[in-house]
Amino acid sequence: MSEEEKLRAKKKAMSLLQHNDRTEWELRDKLKRAEFSDEAIDEAIEYVRSFHYIDDKRYAVRFVEIYHTSRSKKRLWQDLMKRHVPEEYISLALEQLEDGDSEALQREIEKLTRYKEELTYEEKQKIAAKLYRKGFSVNDIRRQLELY
């Protein structure tokens, strides 16, 4: 591994982080796909970490802050696990949600029932199934649809 490769890996890492926050796993994956050696990748990761450009805990908190109004807790958990964020950081980020899924669930129901004054039993069933697939609990869905 040459010093030139290490420098190119650092520059590539900085470039990848310029527009989007990424988890350490995502950055490592991108650098592997760019065919850098493991040593160059490790050095690039340590370099950007030293400037706090990657921080999986901060990433999890920001992700939850951004998406909590449109996704269930279960979906947020799954999305962060897909990005290989450690479970302890996901738990910390999700603990900050005060109202659980209710805000996101209400927003989704409003989207799905727009321009409708009343719903038939079949329409409620279809909406409930769609919301369940998005990770909301059956009891919460039923409760919110009864209020509708």
CATH fold for the domain made of 3-50 = Arc Repressor Mutant, subunit A (1.10.10)
pLDDT at 99: 66
What is the DSSP annotation of 14-69?
HHHHHHS---HHHHHHHHHHTT--HHHHHHHHHHHHHTTS--HHHHHHHHHHHHTT
pLDDT at 97: 76
pLDDT at 1: 62
Where are the domains positioned within the chain?
Answer: 3-50, 56-95, 102-147
Cα dihedral 73, 97, 59, 112 in deg (nearest 10): 50
**3-class DSSP assignment, residue 57:** helix
pLDDT at 8: 95
Element at 83 (helix H, strand E): none
pLDDT at 90: 95
pLDDT at 145: 82
pLDDT in tens, 12-63: 999 999 988 999 999 999 999 999 999 999 999 999 999 999 999 999 999 9
pLDDT in tens, 66-110: 988 888 888 999 999 999 999 999 999 998 876 667 778 888 888
